[in-house]
Amino acid sequence: MYKALYRRSRPNRFSEIVGQEHISLTLKNEVINGTFSHAYIFTGSRGIGKTTTAKILAKALNCAALQNGEPCCECNICKGIDAGNIPDVQEIDAASNTGVDNIRAIKEDAQFAPTVGKYRVYIIDEAHMLSIGAFNALLKIMEEPPNNVVFILATTQINKIPATILSRCQRFDFLRPSVLTIEQLLLKVASKEDIAINSDAVRLIAVLSDGGMRDALSLLDVCSNVSNGKVIDESLVESIAAIPLDKECLNLLEAAINSDYELCIKIINECYVKAVDISSLCESLLRHCRNILLLKTCKKEINLLEISQKSLKKTQEIAFKISLNQIMLILEEIKLAYEKLNKSSMPKIELELCLLNLCKKLHVLPVNECNSNQASEDESFRIKNWQQVIECLTETNSILAGALNDSSAYIKNDTVLIDSENSIFLELIRNDENAKKDLKVAMVKILGKRYRIGPYKK
């Protein structure tokens, strides 16, 4: 029988758990020192190792040949727990066993000593799905826990767990692994399993899995099954995940920025014809918007970007071209469309409407506003009393002052950047030292500070 890749590469020991070292080390020490709790709650998003960790803990608590807090994975008990046929360790899916009767059955079981191991371990998955009656019954057991019983509750929604239960559990918050952590895991698994894959494809799978290790490994599994031994590349991942290409998303965003509605419709239709799900097109667009936003706001945090090396340049170009307000507007509109289209029977029309709206809004956004936004992002600001500077300059250099009529200026760091197309101004500012001096003196008088000067380049 085919065993899925994520099952084959599931960690067997604490030391094999990736990205949750703060939890696995603590648990291992608790096992070594015998200071473990009778009730744990593991919380965090789906597919990041909560149940896997619970099983390792169950093995460590029962293993016949514990090795420095780690289960040996060789003894009959370890093997039995892995195979799921040791009655002392039970995994209960609360999503399908929500009732009070299920918990009562546990209560009865728990009265008896374990059959083969040292502890009865109850792993309750999706614990937030338990009914109120079931929680109350569970609380009764937790209030006076039998000595050899350990509960491990796993949940994706900790806010739905009653406070009375929470207060009796040792809580561990599982972290969502970073794209980089998932990339490293994928590379490790690929090398172990002899799967040929290039780095762009690894990156894309890591990005698409949105922090889920299981999802990432499942996608790698499918890719390796259809690749026929060829190197898995980005386009194979894209076709399997039926997601739009980075190129298409970036072109779509660019078309919107250029208010080219016809091109937007054309690109959406191309994706649609390729059976790309409109909802995942929206998700990809949001991801690209976020990348652009990051490029505009946190210039040093380049490793937070969720993008392949190949698409970085184009993303940078777009980020350079648009203002912060524009990208925030786009992000907001696509987010709204995404929420709407998931409820709509005609998602494609929702997205087309969204793009039409965007094209209209971006088109009427005044150029000046864009420029001033651009200026403010560059930590520069427009000089409000520039007109006064020009008036002051009239007294000492009327030619230059005249050339500066209708100009505007910005301050960036210690430089005043003057926005003017006037050829006399450009000539004077390049070649006439006296003109420069006169302007600087006028600036000191009005602005109260000595600045350098330079032409403002759009």
Residues lying near Zn ion in the complex (CB under 5 A): 63, 71-72, 75, 78
Nearer to Zn ion, 12 or 344 (CB): 12
Smallest distance from the beta carbon of 204 to Zn ion, in angstroms? 38
Smallest distance from the beta carbon of 167 to Zn ion, in angstroms? 33
Integer Cα distance of 259 and 269 in angstroms: 17
Q: Are strands 170-173 and 149-155 parallel, antiparallel or unpaired?
A: unpaired
Integer Cα distance of 449 and 413 in angstroms: 12
Smallest distance from the beta carbon of 85 to Zn ion, in angstroms? 15
Smallest distance from the beta carbon of 32 to Zn ion, in angstroms? 15
Integer Cα distance of 312 and 305 in angstroms: 9
Q: How many CA atoms lie within 13 A of 163 on its CB side?
A: 0
The closest of 154, 287, 282 to 209, measured between CA atoms, is 287
Q: Are strands 408-412 and 415-419 parallel, antiparallel or unpaired?
A: antiparallel
Q: Which two tokens stand for residue 454?
A: 């330079």
Nearer to Zn ion, 17 or 417 (CB): 17
Nearer to Zn ion, 63 or 223 (CB): 63
Length of the chain: 458
CA angle 428, 400, 383 (to 5 degrees): 105
Listed in sequence order, the DSSP H helices in 97-212 are 100-110, 132-143, 163-166, 179-192, 199-208
Q: Is 40 helix (H, G, I), strand (E, B) or coil?
A: strand
Smallest distance from the beta carbon of 114 to Zn ion, in angstroms? 15
Nearer to Zn ion, 34 or 229 (CB): 34
Q: How many CA atoms lie within 13 A of 77 on its CB side?
A: 24
Nearer to Zn ion, 123 or 207 (CB): 123
Smallest distance from the beta carbon of 72 to Zn ion, in angstroms? 4
Nearer to Zn ion, 49 or 71 (CB): 71
The neighbouring-strand residues paired with 170 are: 40
Nearer to Zn ion, 64 or 441 (CB): 64
Integer Cα distance of 432 and 422 in angstroms: 15
The closest of 242, 291, 250 to 271, measured between CA atoms, is 242
Number of other residues whose CB lies within 10 A of the CB of residue 87? 12
Nearer to Zn ion, 74 or 427 (CB): 74
CA angle 20, 26, 31 (to 5 degrees): 125
Nearer to Zn ion, 15 or 394 (CB): 15
Listed in sequence order, the DSSP H helices in 227-260 are 234-241, 246-257
CA angle 148, 149, 155 (to 5 degrees): 155
Query: What Cα–Cα distance (Å) separates residue 197 from each residue in 41, 208, 217, 391?
Result: 37, 16, 13, 67
Smallest distance from the beta carbon of 352 to Zn ion, in angstroms? 59
Nearer to Zn ion, 75 or 328 (CB): 75
Cross-sheet strand order for the sheet of 89-93: 89-93, 120-125, 149-155, 39-43, 170-173
Nearer to Zn ion, 13 or 203 (CB): 13
Number of other residues whose CB lies within 10 A of the CB of residue 228? 6
Number of other residues whose CB lies within 10 A of the CB of residue 406? 10
Nearer to Zn ion, 119 or 135 (CB): 119
Smallest distance from the beta carbon of 62 to Zn ion, in angstroms? 8
